[in-house]
Amino acid sequence: MLAHARALGHVFNPITVYWCHLPDGTLECVVAEVHNTYGQRHCYLLRPDETGRAHTDKHFHVSPFLPEQGRYVMRFDRPGQRLGVHVQLRGDDGPLLTAVMTGRRRPATRVQLVRSTLSRPLVPHRVSALIRLHGVALWLRRVPIVARRQHVSKGVR
């Protein structure tokens, strides 16, 4: 699983990724759980190809500045010593949003968890603040706001 840890009582994960393996270690699927700032979430059940790429239609309002329609093109590195997740939302005219997350494997020891918490105690707060600041910047540039429809979860897609 790839997600932010709660820090000082707060966490916001724009996306949480779960790699689902069969007992023999073969990757069966990836679940991408997408969250928005309205407290809603939607899961996408993905079957990446041999290069780690997966495609799916967008079914969830993630931003007041992005259309509800579109197609996600995602790439998931297999978890190893390094990890990468690449998400691109594409519209009819090309890319609308690109997000990349990378990292290095660390042991989940108490010492490592304390070290990570002390060295980056406000990462979840920073993520939330930067998302909102980016929204303000888009609003100031008069980017049109897309009305949000009520999200009804119909299970995993």
Query: What pLDDT does residue 10 have?
Result: 85
Give pLDDT < 50 ranges for the chain.
none
Token representation of residue 152: 């009804």
Query: What pLDDT does residue 33 have?
Result: 96
Hey, where are the domains in the chain? 15-140
> What DSSP string runs through 99-136?
EEEEEE-----HHHHHHHHHHSTTHHHHHHHHHHHHHH
Query: What pLDDT does residue 118 have?
Result: 84
Task: Kindly provide the residue ranges of all beta strands, DSSP E only, lying in the chain, ordered along the sequence.
Answer: 15-21, 27-35, 41-46, 53-57, 71-76, 82-91, 94-104
CA 35, CA 3: separation in Å to the nearest integer? 11
CA 1, CA 122: separation in Å to the nearest integer? 20
Token representation of residue 99: 């997000």
Looking at the DSSP assignment, which residues form a beta bridge with residue 101?
A: 85
pTM for the model: 0.85
